[in-house]
Structure 1
Amino acid sequence: MEQEQINKLAQKFLEGTATDAEQKMLHDWYDGINTHEELPVDGEALRLRMQQAIANRTAKRRPWIKRLAAAAAVLLVITAGTYLLQRNKPVQTTKTHPYKEDAAPGTNKAILTLYDGTTIELDSSKNGALGKQGNTTILKTAGGQLAYQSNDQPASQEVHYNKVVTPRGGQYQIMLPDGTKVWLNAESSLYFPAEFTGKERNVKLTGEAYFEVAHNAQAPFIVSVADVDVEVLGTHFNVMAYADEHAIKTSLFEGAVKIKDNLLRPGQQMQVYKDGRFKVVTDPFMEDAIAWKDGMFVFNNDNLDNIMRRLSRWYDVEISFSTDKIRNNEFTGQISRHEKLSEVLKMLELTDAVHFEIERKKIIAMP
């Protein structure tokens, strides 16, 4: 395909006007350059940009992600001269420089602490039974998931609480004894009983997690985060509650949840601030609240400060800014969380709005 035709298709893709056939042509061209062992400089740069701008075709698409595809995806190269889009404006860029050091992406790893204080490193433990508490068997499945399997006997009188902690650079999936599925993001923890008894199913969360709650009208599921309770019956939602974020954000995808006597509907987000104020956002950009679970970073006019906090947790690195002036630079785009840190930084650098140095476990961001 000629360069002029590539440029026209890329521009239409950015504007959200490309037909299905034109998008397929762009995908096919991208797949073609991805198979070359060696690429010209502009082709290699374009391959990097397409990783961000074109959605992961193996991931499930949701109605609200169409807004991302229709928006001007930042960092998509649209000409052979490596012009990029940052906040919908074309910017002439310079080449990125090689980094002296790098950091691998996070992996599935976590530590399980049983009620008696015994700790189990889940990533290094063998598949199969890890222990038994009351009427519940604790298993590590063949897929690497932690599962609590009840034997359907009457619940024991003594309730045993367990805790799963993911470190920086870790994530893990848990199936609770009631069948509820939990995806735990990096630097997070979940405190829960080995058996749910009584009229409520209570768990405590720090950090971030995505929940698919098993329906039980007789026993509401309650997620406690700091002094905020998220009450549900059976639903899909994400809670982001890192201590270094300005608000606790609960994003609802299916069903209904109640927070501070406010009932959320699918596609809405509740934001609770540290001073007690809160608001319901009726039309938030939902994809950035769930993309991490699907192995993606998705940015939608996110400032650099916010982006670097996410990278810090996932790559287990410290962040430093040479000047506060660049903290509020905004970016829109997406990239796989399975890429090395250097690949993410290269893409941001190609806007020429920010540059980076990696010194051991520290990233320095500068103009």
Structure 2
Amino acid sequence: MTPHRDFEYLSSLILKYLKNDITEKEQQILNEWLEESPNNKSLLESFRQTAKVEQDIDQLRSIDVNAQWERFNANIRNSQPKKLRLAKWWPRVAAVLLVASSVAFYVYQSQKKSTASDAVLAYDVNPGSERAILQLADGAVVNLGRYQKHSDHDQAQGFDVKEGTLYFTANHTKSGQTNHHALRTPRAGEYKVVLPDGTKVWLNASSYLSFPQNFDGNERRVQLKGEAYFEVAHQPSKPFIVSFNDTEVKVLGTHFNINTYGNTSKTTLLEGSVSISEGGHQTLLKPGQEALIEQGEIEVQKTEVYKSIAWKEGVFYFKEDNIKEILDQISRWYDVEIVYQGKPSQQAITGNIRRQATLNQVLDMLGTLTNAKFNLTDRTVTVNFNP
């Protein structure tokens, strides 16, 4: 079998082993692989001892993943907002995808490391993490991480940080004053913030969110650059407005993702409804739809919503993407520069991998899916498309 089929086959054996559903012949093959390296035994044991994985394997056995995604998207397209229950679907489907890809990927990695012809990579880049810079309305700057120590000044400004989440409470200012905070994530950073009204916002790498100390007046308005996922607190009398470029997205209470990285901005609706205004045009989105906005024009299309929010779930999820689209994400999350040699391939790539993987692990997987050669040196990835 080819190496690609080898690691897929071994992954299936591990899944069967975890559920005590492995034949004697399959067990013999698995034992041979376990004897090849102590790392293989440690890998299997780590999966076997993880209760979460065992629960996910139960789901994996009973669910056709591709059919589940189709069913998930169909429910989003056809359900009324009040009837849609995303919380019921996401953990179940995402768990199946993650456990399957994790087992397969680690088996593949262990095989590569055990091959004598593969040299040990001395240089690698770790993935991004929960970090951001908060600029308060009074000009003070706070560096944020997952484990943050607080000061009396923090409490006076009406915010707190717990396990990588920034919490704001209403901090009323004098009448007529409009003071704004700003939250920035660097390359290789992400952060979650709960705004004074209870709205939850997840900021992806290289993003910016400006919001007032308190949502006074008849609306709740924030400004975005980069990418963010919103779960807006429902307040019928006070619409929530996200402005970016020359576009406004207006909602009352809903779940949606906005991506403004490229020349074409994307707004993807998961639950509820949003109104999009751009260049004098106004469009209403329904769940399961995505608005592509470029040069004053709005194009609405059906979409696979998980692709837009997979980053928030800790996954790179590619479906028929080209290599440049994928490496744009890699560049931001690992804070590296991408240099191309030769003409980039237009091959459509489909796959997924955890955002917690190191850069070399991601590049190894991309190498199995494409004909490109990757070289990592001093935070620069050279991609060679020459034959």
Same fold flag (TM > 0.5): yes
Equivalent position to 1:150, from 135, 151, 170:
170
Per-residue CA distance 1:170-214 (angstroms, 9 max, x = gap) = 000101000000000000010010100111111000000000000
* Cα distance between partner residues in 1 of 2:21 and 2:196: 45
- AA at the equivalent of 2:283: N
8 Å contact 2:374–2:383 — kept in the other structure?
A: yes
1:98: Cα distance to partner? 4.6
Per-residue CA distance 1:243-272 (angstroms, 9 max, x = gap) = xx2310011111111113211111110010
Question: Which structure shows the higher helix fraction?
Answer: 2
Per-residue CA distance 1:84-127 (angstroms, 9 max, x = gap) = xxxxxxxxxxx866544211000100000012221110127414
Higher-RCO chain (CA-CA 8 Å, sequence separation at least 6):
1
Aligned-pair identity (%): 35
Equivalent position to 1:161, from 174, 180, 198:
180
8 Å contact 1:99–1:358 — kept in the other structure?
A: no
8 Å contact 2:181–2:211 — kept in the other structure?
A: yes
| Gap runs ≥5 in structure 1 | 15-21, 48-53, 81-94
Indicate the SS of the match to 1:348. Answer: helix
Structural mapping, 1:323-342, within 5 Å? 323-326=342-345, 328-342=346-360
Counterpart for residue 250 of structure 1: 267
Equivalent position to 1:126, from 139, 143, 149:
149
How many residues are aligned here?
318
1:142: Cα distance to partner? 2.6
- AA at the equivalent of 2:353: I
Structural mapping, 1:279-290, within 5 Å? 279-282=299-302, 284-290=303-309
Structural mapping, 1:112-123, within 5 Å? 112-123=134-145
- AA at the equivalent of 2:273: A
Structural mapping, 1:173-212, within 5 Å? 173-212=192-231
Do the aligned partners of residues 129 and 309 (structure 1) sit closer, same or farther apart at CA in structure 2, a change above 3 Å counting?
farther
Counterpart for residue 241 of structure 1: 260
Equivalent position to 2:249, from 197, 211, 230:
230
Per-residue CA distance 1:56-94 (angstroms, 9 max, x = gap) = 9499x861487997xxx9xx79xx9xxxxxxxxxxxxxx
* Cα distance between partner residues in 1 of 2:247 and 2:17: 46
Do the aligned partners of residues 129 and 217 (structure 1) sit closer, same or farther apart at CA in structure 2, a change above 3 Å counting?
farther
1:349: Cα distance to partner? 1.2
Per-residue CA distance 1:39-64 (angstroms, 9 max, x = gap) = 57xx89x99xxxxxx9x9499x8614
Q: Does 1:110 align with 2:127?
A: no
Indicate the SS of the match to 1:189. Answer: strand
Counterpart for residue 359 of structure 1: 377
Q: Does 1:263 align with 2:256?
A: no
Do the aligned partners of residues 250 and 323 (structure 1) sit closer, same or farther apart at CA in structure 2, a change above 3 Å counting?
same
8 Å contact 1:272–1:278 — kept in the other structure?
A: yes
* Cα distance between partner residues in 2 of 1:259 and 1:122: 32
Do the aligned partners of residues 118 and 100 (structure 1) sit closer, same or farther apart at CA in structure 2, a change above 3 Å counting?
same
Per-residue CA distance 1:18-55 (angstroms, 9 max, x = gap) = xxxx9963865999979x87757xx89x99xxxxxx9x
Do the aligned partners of residues 339 and 272 (structure 1) sit closer, same or farther apart at CA in structure 2, a change above 3 Å counting?
same
* Cα distance between partner residues in 2 of 1:37 and 1:116: 59
* Cα distance between partner residues in 1 of 2:193 and 2:127: 21
* Cα distance between partner residues in 1 of 2:361 and 2:187: 19
8 Å contact 1:295–1:337 — kept in the other structure?
A: yes
- AA at the equivalent of 2:344: K
* Cα distance between partner residues in 2 of 1:201 and 1:239: 17
When normalised by structure 2's length, the TM-score is 0.70
* Cα distance between partner residues in 2 of 1:27 and 1:196: 51
8 Å contact 1:206–1:225 — kept in the other structure?
A: yes
- AA at the equivalent of 1:345: L
* Cα distance between partner residues in 2 of 1:213 and 1:348: 36
Question: Which structure shows the higher strand fraction?
Answer: 1
1:354: Cα distance to partner? 1.6
Indicate the SS of the match to 2:308. Answer: helix
| Gap runs ≥5 in structure 2 | 45-52, 60-67, 74-89, 109-116
Counterpart for residue 189 of structure 2: 170
